[in-house]
Structure 1
Amino acid sequence: PLPGPGGIPVIAVGLMLILKSSYWAKRQFIRAQYARPKWVYPFRRLMRKKPEIAPVFWQQALRAEKVVLKRPRRRLMRARKG
């Protein structure tokens, strides 16, 4: 396991492999999709045959910035609009 934020992509790839091979995991994923569609949607986009990696990470960065920072300090949003 990688310490810190470097381990998050490794965990995500491992979970995707489990999801493709396990029936139980697929059922849990579908339940999560109905319960929290905004949380599951990025994983669905990354599991497509031709995943859009950059747009998914950009969208998640904007969401994280929205949660963490107050409106005047959001730099990614200003860069997107500019």
Structure 2
Amino acid sequence: MIPTAATIDIKHRVRRRARLALLLRESAARAFRWIAIGFGALVILAGAVLTPLPGHVGLPLLVIGLMIVLRYSFAARKTFIRWQRRHPKLVFPIRRLMRREPEVLLVVWQQMLRTEKLVLRKARWRLLKKTRKRVRRYVERKMAKAA
């Protein structure tokens, strides 16, 4: 069977539509990526502004914005990994908060201890560390009596 001009024209139209659909999908995906990165940057900016204020709203906003930006930007991922290698103590709490099941209370406690150590240089002034040790001794005594 010899193809006619009509069948060749139909095949050409189908290919052209498929190519156009692919181009539109790629353009929409690229636009969505840029919009998501912009939204993530705005959330990071809002978190940075709210971090010094009381209420502790800023840190979760920073983490959420960072998650959005890292999800859609390869360059941001490379920069984040570079920061992680250079400053592991700064980036580790953020990585712990970005896990699927974040250990929020442990991260908050660790950051409170670090802040206390930074602000109160003398060990005898640090209340959180003393309180933690007292609670640990109390729990150990209770567990020893129960056993």
Tell me the TM-score normalised to structure 2 length.
0.50
After the TM superposition, list the runs of 4 or more consecutive aligned residues in structure 1 that deviate by more than 3 angstroms.
none
Q: 1:16, 1:79 → 2: CA distance?
A: 34
| Aligned equivalent of 2:62 | 11
CA RMSD of aligned residues (A): 1.7
1:7 shift after superposition: 4.7
Which one of the candidate residues 102, 108, 112 is aligned to 1:57? 108
Q: Is the 8 A contact 2:63 2:98 kept in 1?
A: no
Q: Deviations over 1:7-34 (max 9, x none)?
A: 5222332223212221111111100011
Q: Deviations over 1:17-66 (max 9, x none)?
A: 21222111111110001101111111111111111110011001100110
Q: 1:22, 1:36 → 2: CA distance?
A: 21
Q: Is the 8 A contact 2:96 2:107 kept in 1?
A: yes
Q: 2:88, 2:66 → 1: CA distance?
A: 17
Q: 1:25, 1:60 → 2: CA distance?
A: 25
| Aligned equivalent of 1:77 | 129
Which amino acid in 1 is paired with 2:114?
R
| Aligned equivalent of 1:67 | 118
Which amino acid in 2 is paired with 1:48?
R
Q: 2:107, 2:68 → 1: CA distance?
A: 19
Could you tell me the percent identity over the aligned residues? 46
Paired positions, count: 82
Tell me the TM-score normalised to structure 1 length.
0.85
